[in-house]
Structure 1
């Protein structure tokens, strides 16, 4: 019961250290929480979005699944409904200004997707729930990845992304410094591909058309703790540092 004890002891520590401060925050926002962002992240236990983004009570919605996938709008029906589109709509109804799709290094779901890439091309629908989830919603990423990856190249790109909205029209160089594994390169590309899935829903499109929402691809390195944001101007993922902060902020206009 080692894991259970850790959780209970963690709650006891929370009661001593953070509970009083959180109660004050609960009183401030209890009748009118106004989250400004939605994070769509992987469910990996190493991804603590509220920690690395220093989020407070009421700041953000957080949606987690295996691989940070978003089902395309055209695949959604009553019989195939999943949590992700509903969470996106709730975020839009709550007037969030930013949606972040956050992938990460050594993602077990993406590692599996890479191993299953040939089955994705062959439309092989066999496997357990995890394999079916990964192949069904990871195939668009695999197809784009396979189209642009070259043998013996250190990086992938430029990869064109095209869509109805300006935020979806950009080129991407994936890991031009060749710092990460081939699976991690797929993870970064997948985070970008999911932006197009996010933007496929009418309630998101309405926000994008009115300039009321920005959609972003973020990426977390579980080994170094470094956080990256895709810069459309630089056509690559940029580490978020004191040096890059102002430039990345400027790209957020006009949603802020």
Structure 2
């Protein structure tokens, strides 16, 4: 491990994967995937949301990380990884009071999950079944984050020319299994069933 880090310091980082995951303390990409330093460029935020591309002079931390990974590090893959029992997805169904602006940024950020919530409510049979509601929202949210990635000019360009692939994953906290989103069949399957499985 130490030798690997020294090599990375000397030669610089060349990760092939951008991993976009949730800030949830139970989601630990290094342990989940048994990776070493230098293997992945990791972006974590509340809800593993991908804000749509917006060209202005505001501060865009998540967008900056995506641009850096894609346009500077030239990663070959982007993984958006949602997870079970996601507090952000559950919070989409709660009216959060501002309480003197204590969570003003959280409330604004959660707007990125509005489309996933809307689609989930149109599909769910029983919205009072909270477990099913939240699990479906978590998965549908991943699909919307993949769509948001396509709003980034260089992401779209590199996907179109075949130098970049994007993947949607769903990590189940209960047993550590990972599912991937099959975009052709529009459903999640166990990762080991895919060509990039474990």
Gaps of 5+ in 2: 97-102
In the aligned structure 2, how far is the partner of 1:218 from the partner of 1:114?
Answer: 23
Q: Is the 8 A contact 2:81 2:171 kept in 1?
A: yes
CA-to-partner distance for each residue in 1:135-169, whole Å, 9 max, x for gaps? x21112223223333447x9xxxxxxxxxxxxxxx
**Which residue, out of 70, 86, 90, partners 1:92?**
70
Match of 1:219, SS state, is strand
Provide the residue aligned with 1:139 in structure 2.
114
Match of 1:67, SS state, is helix
In the aligned structure 2, how far is the partner of 1:224 from the partner of 1:82?
Answer: 34
Provide the residue aligned with 2:15 in structure 1.
35
Match of 1:70, SS state, is coil
- TM-superposed deviation, 1:250: 6.8
Counting only pairs closer than 5 Å after superposition, residues 1-256 of structure 1 correspond to structure 2 as 22-29=1-8, 30-74=10-54, 76-79=55-58, 81-93=59-71, 94-116=73-95, 128-134=104-110, 136-151=111-126, 181-241=132-192, 244=193, 248-249=194-195
- TM-superposed deviation, 1:226: 1.1
Q: Judge which range, 226-235 or 200-209, deviates more.
A: 226-235
In the aligned structure 1, how far is the partner of 2:52 from the partner of 2:149?
Answer: 8
Q: Is the 8 A contact 2:124 2:133 kept in 1?
A: no
Match of 1:249, SS state, is coil
Match of 2:162, SS state, is coil
Match of 2:78, SS state, is strand
Provide the residue aligned with 1:3 in structure 2.
none
- TM-score (normalised: structure 2): 0.86
Bigger RCO (CA 8 Å, 6+ sep) = 2
Match of 1:61, SS state, is strand
- TM-superposed deviation, 1:235: 2.8
RMSD of equivalent CA atoms: 2.6
Provide the residue aligned with 1:166 in structure 2.
none
How many residue pairs end up in the alignment? 190
Match of 1:73, SS state, is coil
Gaps of 5+ in 1: 1-21, 118-126, 155-179, 252-256
- TM-superposed deviation, 1:32: 3.3
- TM-superposed deviation, 1:202: 0.6
